[in-house]
Amino acid sequence: MRTLRSHAPRFGKLGHVLAIVCPGQGSQTPGFLAPWLDLPAVADRLGALGEAVGLDLVAHGTTSDEETIKDTAVAQPLIVAAGLVTAESMFDAALSDLPVVLAGHSVGEITASALAGVLSAEDAMRFVGVRARAMARAAAVTPTGMSAVVGGDRDEVLAAIAAAGAEPANVNGGGQIVAAGTFEQLKALAENPPAKARVIPLKVAGAFHTQHMAPAVADLEALRPELTVGDPTVPLLSNHDGAPVASGEAAVASLIAQVSRPVRWDLCMETLVSQGVTGVIELAPAGTLVGLAKRGMPGVKTVAVKTPADVDAALELFAADAEGDAETTKETV
């Protein structure tokens, strides 16, 4: 498998920018990490990340069943670790030397923050471990869940969610808004869907990014003084408003606050478009964010890195952008 070093000599100060995006909970599937364990050092690295959070992530990424990896306390650390080992396998050059911007959806914002240098990999795993356990406890207080509302008029969708007593937890763009609330509220929404929209239950065990998760915020605030925080070495977008965070402390504040406030992935995509992003690379477990980008960022190239076989296609985006910038330079000289 090639890594970024295959293309690194071609880079200079590029005008084009690529987005590296990290998925959130619900993107995991049984055995999704199995192909990555064929790469040297991945099993050991995944094992070390698992030790930091007290989980056997090798087993959870390869042999654990769907019900096991749906558990919030397992799913969130597994997804962050997957993004980290995927990135480490692909990029043997520092991301700060590359024309990239980072963003992560929900728990994926932790992955992105670690890749941006805000948190070490070990602190990212500690953070997600506390987050996952605290959110699991909060979810156990009242049976809650989440449902994607796909299609329909945006205002009508938001009105229907409110009428059911639920909350818009994720405003994802691309015609998708995720509602969260009690099972009764989600049932009411499904029985009275907005016009021209589908309501699809998600494989998550709680009403994340809503008032139901407020107790988890205190646990993360208690952890905060123990973290070693650095400023981002590359642009890093916040789930709150889609804007680049100004500092490492601001990034951590965003990570803590997003537990109980909506994720605005639509605003993240708007920022990526406004910054001239020409390609989107989604780290494993990939697919969801690339799907949203295809609808919400028309004309932007996308690659979902699900297995090592997808890495070459992702790295070709860097090569293509380098060639594109070279042509632009010729035309403007």
Distance CA 306, CA 32 (A): 8
- Domain at 196, CATH number: 3.30.70.250
Pick the last residue of a domain from 151, 173, 201. Answer: 201
Distance CA 2, CA 312 (A): 6
Judge if 130 and 247 occupy the same domain. Answer: yes
DSSP per-residue letters across 28-77: --TTTTGGGGGSTTHHHHHHHHHHHHTS-HHHHHHT--HHHHHSHHHHHH
DSSP per-residue letters across 121-158: HHHHHHHHHHHHHHHHHHHHHS-EEEEEEEES-HHHHH
User: Is 163 inside a domain boundary?
Assistant: yes
- Domain at 114, CATH number: 3.40.366.10
Mode of pairing for the β-strands spanning 176-182 and 144-151 = antiparallel
Q: Domain containing 172: what range? A: 141-201
pLDDT of residue 22: 98
Judge if 247 and 314 occupy the same domain. Answer: yes
Q: By the 8 A CB rule, do 323 and 7 touch? A: no
Residues in the chain, overall count: 333
Pick the last residue of a domain from 157, 172, 201. Answer: 201
**The token pair that represents 30 in the structure block:** 């049984």
Q: Is residue 258 within a helix (H) or strand (E), and if so which, with residue range?
A: none
User: Is 56 inside a domain boundary?
Assistant: yes
Q: By the 8 A CB rule, do 38 and 173 touch? A: no
Judge if 121 and 218 occupy the same domain. Answer: yes
Judge if 292 and 175 occupy the same domain. Answer: no
Classify burial at 309, counting beta carbons within 10 Å of its beta carbon; exposed 0-12, middle 13-18, buried 19 or more: exposed
Q: By the 8 A CB rule, do 44 and 89 touch? A: no
Nearest CA among 306, 271, 303, 279 for reference residue 290:
303
Judge if 135 and 245 occupy the same domain. Answer: yes
Judge if 117 and 193 occupy the same domain. Answer: no
User: Is 1 inside a domain boundary?
Assistant: no
**What averages of pLDDT result for each successive group of 10 residues across the chain (333 residues)?**
47 62 94 96 96 97 95 95 95 84 97 98 98 94 94 96 97 95 97 96 89 96 98 96 96 97 97 94 97 94 97 88 46 36
Judge if 313 and 216 occupy the same domain. Answer: yes
User: Is 101 inside a domain boundary?
Assistant: yes
Q: How many distinct structural domains can be found in the chain?
A: 2
Mode of pairing for the β-strands spanning 17-22 and 277-282 = parallel
Active site residues: 106, 209
Q: Is residue 281 within a helix (H) or strand (E), and if so which, with residue range?
A: strand 277-282
pLDDT of residue 16: 62
Q: Could you tell me how many helices (H) and strands (E) the chain has, helices first? A: 13, 8
Q: By the 8 A CB rule, do 212 and 169 touch? A: no
Judge if 214 and 297 occupy the same domain. Answer: yes
User: Is 44 inside a domain boundary?
Assistant: yes
Judge if 195 and 231 occupy the same domain. Answer: no
pLDDT of residue 213: 96
Judge if 150 and 226 occupy the same domain. Answer: no
Cβ contacts of residue 80 below 8 Å, gap of 6+?
Answer: 107, 108, 110, 111, 114, 124, 125, 128
DSSP per-residue letters across 285-300: S-SHHHHHHHHHSTT-
